[in-house]
């Protein structure tokens, strides 16, 4: 969020040189700098005990490719609480454990995404209204169904989780048609 007015008193902000921060917004009424705040979201790849990743399709995001679970942090919620809530809301799965993987900044949306590997038990999905479909796919092939852009947060998270878990699930199918043809 880019501030024009002070979020505390409502005064119009001015630009002022602030030490190491450089030129930034300043409230002359409150006598303090005001920092812009990016939206904070989580992005998570849910992986079950069989080495399958849960990918979902949300047509309003991408009607052709699958994505990872993601969502905005609510006020007063930790990133871990948000990740558990989003996986439960979108897929109906309970998270057994979480591992922070990486953070991703999306400049075009001024968004900071906190990436997690979520371990879950394999179960039938209970999809929310904002999810059009979901499927379990072998983790080591999940990137084939994910976003096309290798620089997307989802694709980077999938690749990082694959690298982290490669020894644990090394005997998975490698044939793309085998993955795409499954429902």
Q: What is the pLDDT of residue 166?
A: 86
Largest CA-CA distance found in the chain, in angstroms, rounded: 64
Among residues of the chain, what percentage have pLDDT more than 90?
81
With H, G, I as helix, E, B as strand and everything else as coil, classify residue 47: strand
pLDDT at 172: 54
Q: What are the residue ranges spanned by the domains of the chain?
A: 1-37, 39-180
CATH 1.20.120 fits 1-37, yes or no: no
User: Cα–Cα distances in Å, from 154 out to 52, 57, 128?
Assistant: 16, 12, 20
Confidence tier at 168 by pLDDT (50, 70, 90): confident
**Two tokens, residue 67:** 């994505």
Task: Name 77's Cβ contacts closer than 8 Å, sequence gap at least 6.
Answer: 85
* 175: pLDDT strictly greater than 80: no
Are 1-37 and 39-180 the same fold in CATH? no
Q: Which fold has domain 39-180?
A: Nucleoside Triphosphate Pyrophosphohydrolase (3.90.79)
- CA–CA separation, 71 vs 161, rounded Å? 19
What pLDDT is recorded for position 181? 52
Among the ranges given (61-70, 84-93, 162-171), the one the predictor scored with the smallest mean pLDDT: 162-171
Q: In this predicted model, what pLDDT tens digit does every residue of 23-82 receive, in sequence order?
A: 999 999 999 999 999 999 999 999 999 999 999 999 988 888 999 999 999 999 999 999
Provide CB contacts within 8 A for 11, sequence distance 6+. Answer: 5, 27, 28, 29, 30
Give the pLDDT confidence of 111-131 residue by residue, as tens digits: 999 999 999 999 999 999 999
């Amino acid at each position: 969020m880019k501030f024009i007015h002070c979020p505390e008193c409502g005064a119009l902000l001015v630009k002022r040189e602030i030490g190491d921060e450089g030129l930034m917004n300043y409230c002359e009424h409150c006598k303090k700098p005001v920092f812009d705040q990016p939206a904070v979201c989580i992005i998570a790849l849910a992986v079950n005990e069989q080495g399958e990743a849960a990918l979902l399709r949300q047509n309003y995001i991408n009607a052709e490719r699958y994505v990872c679970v993601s969502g905005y942090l609510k006020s007063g919620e930790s990133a871990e609480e948000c990740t558990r809530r989003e996986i439960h809301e979108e897929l109906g799965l309970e998270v057994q454990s979480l591992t922070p993987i990486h953070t991703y900044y999306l400049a075009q949306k001024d968004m900071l995404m906190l990436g997690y590997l979520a371990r879950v038990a394999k179960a039938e999905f209970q999809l929310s209204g904002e999810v059009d479909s979901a499927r379990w796919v072998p983790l080591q092939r999940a990137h084939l169904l994910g976003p096309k852009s290798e620089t997307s947060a989802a694709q980077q998270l999938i690749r990082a989780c694959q690298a982290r878990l490669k020894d644990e699930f090394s005997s998975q199918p490698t044939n793309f048609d085998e993955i795409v043809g499954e429902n």
